[in-house]
Structure formats: structure tokens, C-alpha cells
Amino acid sequence: METASAPVIVAIDGPSGTGKSSTSKAVAAALGLSYLDTGAQYRAITWWMLNNGIDVADPQAVATAAGKPVIVSGTDPAAPTITVDGEDAAGPIRTPEVTSKVSAVSAVPEVRTLITALQRSIAAGAEGGIVVEGRDIGTTVLPDADLKVFLTASPEARAARRSGELKGSDLAATREALVKRDAADSGRKTSPLAKADDAVEVDTTELTLDQVIECVVTLVEEKRAAK
């Protein structure tokens, strides 16, 4: 017999600074779902490459090393974790150095193939359902997700949010970095940042975080009810 809490897979995509992580974690927590930050996995493999002397500007070197690190993601939305070879990487993967290199590493097809397989296995093993956030979840990783949401916001709003997160960072520089990252992620050949045809677009520019969360929770509940 179907219940109101039928397993549901939710894909939330969009560029940086749209409120994607905060929204995804809160939606997962509100609905009792698992949560996966796929961007953290790409950051983790980038951090490992930098720590192990791999030239991240050399796609062949990155491809050759891609299978070496063991990345494990904890999926509790209240306390998501990520380890690389057993070492807690949650803090180190957020450094400016990793941020500036992650687009290059994540553009390497071999890296995407490995991480995509990891993401699919986590989603498949999530009892009750999962919220997966990233840039290519609805288009590539989980094209059969029950609900696909694409968050957007103006570059100005996104830069202001990121500057707030990065305490005291230069607003203009932050906006420039975001636009550059968008171009790299949207322009890459393998699994570019793109909105799935059947995704619901939510512009968060004028919305508070609570309003965005409420909107997405409602969308998920509607999908659950229709299953």
C-alpha cells in the first residue's frame, strides 16, 4: 500500500550562490530524506589532486589519478560529512585554492564518470529517498529523478550571498569569480551546467531562504502525493 512518504528522488541544480546547499539540506531535513552535496565530491577529488602533486591543469594527469582517492559522503542533512581516504575533508575542500581549481578538474570526463557512478550508487541506496544537489543532476546523473528543480538568481544577488558566506570578501571580485565559474561549468563538453527540460525553475533573487525552502517542499509533497 502506498503511503504519503513514498520514496522520492529530488534533483536540485543551479549555479553557485542561488541558495542551493541551504535549500537542499533544509528540504531533506523537513521531509526526512537523505542529502547529497555532489559539488563537495568534486571539491574533494580536487583537494586530493592538489595535495598529491597532480598538475590539475593537465587533463591526462588528472584522468590517470582520478581512480585513486576513496571519497565517502555522509548523507545526514543535519550533519553531512565527506572523507577522502578516511580523512575528514569538509573544511579543507572549501579553501579558495580548491574553489579556483575545481572547474578544471570536474571538466575531465574520467573524473565525471567516476563521480557520477558514485552519486548514482548513493542515490540508489538511500532508503526513503534523497535530495541530490549539483550542476548536472537532473540532466546527467539522475535523469529519472521524481522532481527536478533548477535554482537561479541574478549575478548580483548571488555575489552578495557568497560575500556574506565568505565574510568580508570583495563583492565585485566575488561576482567576477561566479560569472567565470558559470562560463566554465556551462561551457564544458562533459555534463555541462544546464537546466533539464522537465525541471521546475525557481528564481531566488527576490525570495528569502525560507520562501525557497517552502516552495521546494511543496513541490516535493505534490510529487509524493501523485506517486
pLDDT in tens, 5-39: 678 999 999 988 888 999 999 999 999 999 999 99
Whether the Cβ atoms of residue 143 and residue 95 lie closer than 8 Å to each other: no
Whether the Cβ atoms of residue 36 and residue 122 lie closer than 8 Å to each other: yes
Mean pLDDT for the chain overall? 90
**CA atoms of 191 and 107, how far apart (whole Å):** 8
Position 160 pLDDT exceeds 90:
no
Question: Which residues are 148's β-sheet partners?
Answer: 11
Position 84 pLDDT exceeds 60:
yes
CA distances to 24, 160, 179 from 163, rounded to whole Å, are 20, 5, 14
Position 1 pLDDT exceeds 50:
no
Whether the Cβ atoms of residue 77 and residue 35 lie closer than 8 Å to each other: yes
Its pTM stands at: 0.88
Q: 129 vs 16, which has greater pLDDT?
A: 129
Strands ordered across the beta sheet of 129-134: 34-37, 129-134, 8-13, 147-152, 200-203
